[in-house]
Amino acid sequence: MKDITIITHDSSFHADDVFAVATLLLVLEKEHEVSVVRSRDQAVIAEADYVVDVGGVYDPDKNCFDHHQAGGAGKRENSIPYASFGLVWKKYGEQLCGSQEIANYIDQILVQPIDAIDNGVAISRKLFGDIKIYDVGDFLNAFLSTWKEEQNNVDEIFEKVLPYAKLILNREITRQRDSLEAREIIVKIYNESRDKKLIIFDEPYPALEFLSKFPEPLFFIMPRVDGTWSIRAVRDREDSFINRKDLPESWAGKSGEELEKVARVPGAIFCHSGRFLVVAKTKEAILKLAAIALRS
């Protein structure tokens, strides 16, 4: 196994350099012994096999992935500039994921937001005063010492957070791979459903995000991991929390005997106050609740 050295800058770290290095580790560690060195010494950088977020050079053929040089390292079609994570991902994302489709998805949900923040580009706005999203960068920053604490060795902290970044990347690859497989099954079941207002699944597929792409579905049924069954309302859009059709108002927030009495369905367990979810003990009970919900 050839020894490989990855160089990134010393001092404070950001999500950009952490995830860029984590990506390279996931790609390289299967066949190489890999060491990560944090330095700005040009002599050290010149001897490295991979250079990330330091050095002032972007040259993917030489595995140099910096974006701090004059003019940066390019922008995407949507105008979000590349940071080091994006540059590494552009070269190695498909190799790591085994699919360009999965790599593109992870670029959209994880890589581009990190690149944007690292380049000072806003991709969201506050809707509720000073309330903001707690993002992956905030998670990593939580490991750094505050001004009141003893200043710990940042290189050691960098090594401590790298496994978290690798874990997140591996989990997102797995989630998207399984999601793509489920999508084919969901589309097949949708196409074969006689009543497309109610789609019935016999496995707990991640159907919520896909069914809003079709115009007809109002509800879908599926088993839950605890053996119960549920009805979920389909949202009017993939990025919306508005139901195409609410569950009956009289069910909202009720559970147990109270819900059974109101719905007149033995085995009804619980209905969310938001009227997007109702749970029952059996498939027979949930089908009865679905019929009522469609008529209401």
| pLDDT tens column, 216-229 | 999 999 999 999 99
Instruction: Provide mean pLDDT across the span 221-238.
Output: 93
Q: Please tell me the distance from the alpha carbon of residue 68 to that of residue 113, in angstroms, as a whole number.
A: 18
| pLDDT tens column, 268-282 | 999 999 999 999 999
Percent of the chain whose pLDDT exceeds 70: 100
User: And the tokens for 83?
Assistant: 């940071």
Q: Domain residue spans in the chain?
A: 2-176, 194-295
* pLDDT beyond 80 at 30: yes
Confidence of residue 208 (pLDDT cuts 50, 70, 90): confident
Give Cα separations from 293 to 69, 135, 200 (angstroms). 60, 38, 14
Confidence of residue 1 (pLDDT cuts 50, 70, 90): low
User: And the tokens for 69?
Assistant: 């040089």
User: And the tokens for 253?
Assistant: 């927030």
Instruction: Provide mean pLDDT across the span 186-198.
Output: 95
Q: Please tell me the distance from the alpha carbon of residue 36 to that of residue 4, in angstroms, as a whole number.
A: 9
Reported in sequence order, the residue ranges of the chain that DSSP labels E, i.e. its strands, are 2-8, 32-38, 50-52, 58-59, 64-65, 198-200, 219-223, 229-233, 268-271, 277-280
Of 78, 138, 141, 70, residue with least CA distance to 112: 78
Instruction: Provide mean pLDDT across the span 208-212.
Output: 87
Q: Please tell me the distance from the alpha carbon of residue 1 to that of residue 50, in angstroms, as a whole number.
A: 16
Instruction: Provide mean pLDDT across the span 46-55.
Output: 96
| pLDDT tens column, 108-167 | 999 999 999 999 999 998 899 999 999 999 999 999 999 999 888 999 999 999 999 999
* pLDDT beyond 80 at 240: no
pLDDT for position 151: 82
> What pTM value is reported for the model?
0.86
Confidence of residue 239 (pLDDT cuts 50, 70, 90): confident
List phi, psi (to 5°) of 48. -80, 155
Instruction: Provide mean pLDDT across the span 182-202.
Output: 95
Cα-based torsion angle of the residue sequence 56, 62, 63, 69 in order, rounded to the nearest 10 degrees: 10
In three-state secondary structure terms, 211 is helix
Confidence of residue 98 (pLDDT cuts 50, 70, 90): very high
Q: Please tell me the distance from the alpha carbon of residue 164 to that of residue 296, in angstroms, as a whole number.
A: 47
Mean pLDDT score across all residues of the chain: 95
Q: Which residue has the higher pLDDT, 171 or 125?
A: 171
* pLDDT beyond 90 at 199: yes
Q: Let me know: does 40 contact 10? Beta carbons within 8 Å.
A: yes
Instruction: Provide mean pLDDT across the span 75-101.
Output: 97
Of 45, 40, 38, 6, residue with least CA distance to 25: 6
